Amino acid sequence: MGTSQTDIELVRRVQAGEKKAFDVLVLKYQQKVINLVMRYVRDQHIAMDIAQEAFIKAYKGLKNFRGDSAFYTWLYRIAINTAKNHLVTMSRRLPANDIDAQEAEQYESAEGLHERGTPESEMQKDEIHQVIIEAIQSLPDDLRTAITLREIEGFSYEEISDAMDCPIGTVRSRIFRARESIETKIAPLMD
């Protein structure tokens, strides 16, 4: 029985009222979800909280899960949305402790305060990063999921095939088309 089939069976058991079956899904995917969320928040404790929130949302929404996509693909989207919502919420709050210029000398060894490059190079990196994000977000769902699982999650083609419930050849084609589309959009910035 493949990963997708095992997940679907566990989902059906949870939907039938067997709560312990969800524990199996949590144990199976919690590290992947935490790693995914870490790409957004970069703090393990916060990532663990967000992952827990994502699993709670998944559990509550499981009654509506129809199996149109693989369970992990569905969970992946919930985790991404939960992480993004957290970032939006945090961006609305003012920082509690600002460091003023006089205190900055005490933080000389703090990694976040060291200059990473010229303002121009930082601006260019930010611009390229933003264009890549926008390019990925503008992709059709199947291409966006495939490229994200490959490039961000580090999934193998076989794992993506299982997660998306499609042949490996289709996965390769989707990733190729996604990369091609992204490269087209960043090419003008690279000149």
Each residue of 90-115: b (16+ CB within 10 Å) or e? eeeeeeeeeeeeeeeeeeeeeeeeee
> How many Cβ atoms from other residues are within 10 Å of residue 116's Cβ?
9
Residue whose structure tokens are 């976040």: 112
Question: How many domains are contained in the chain?
Answer: 2
CATH number at residue 174: 1.10.10.10
Do residues 62 and 10 lie in contact, with contact meaning Cβ atoms separated by under 8 Å? no
> How many Cβ atoms from other residues are within 10 Å of residue 12's Cβ?
14
pLDDT level of residue 87 (50, 70, 90 thresholds): confident
Do residues 57 and 21 lie in contact, with contact meaning Cβ atoms separated by under 8 Å? no
Q: Are residues 76 and 26 in the same domain?
A: yes
Q: Which of 31, 32, 12 is nearest to 22 (CA)?
A: 12
CATH number at residue 28: 1.10.1740.10
pLDDT level of residue 55 (50, 70, 90 thresholds): very high
Q: Are residues 75 and 142 in the same domain?
A: no
How confident is the model at residue 107, as a pLDDT? 44
Which of 62, 94, 126 is where one domain is finished? 94
How confident is the model at residue 53, as a pLDDT? 92
Residue 179 CB-half CA count within 13 A: 10
Mean pLDDT of 184-189: 82
Q: Is 147 exposed, middle or buried (0-12, 13-18, 19+ CB in 10 A)?
A: buried
pTM score = 0.52
Q: Are residues 70 and 136 in the same domain?
A: no
Do residues 79 and 50 lie in contact, with contact meaning Cβ atoms separated by under 8 Å? yes
Q: Are residues 67 and 126 in the same domain?
A: no
State the residue range of the domain holding 45. 1-94
Q: pLDDT of 103-131, one tens digit each?
A: 444 444 444 444 456 777 677 777 887 88
Do residues 144 and 112 lie in contact, with contact meaning Cβ atoms separated by under 8 Å? no
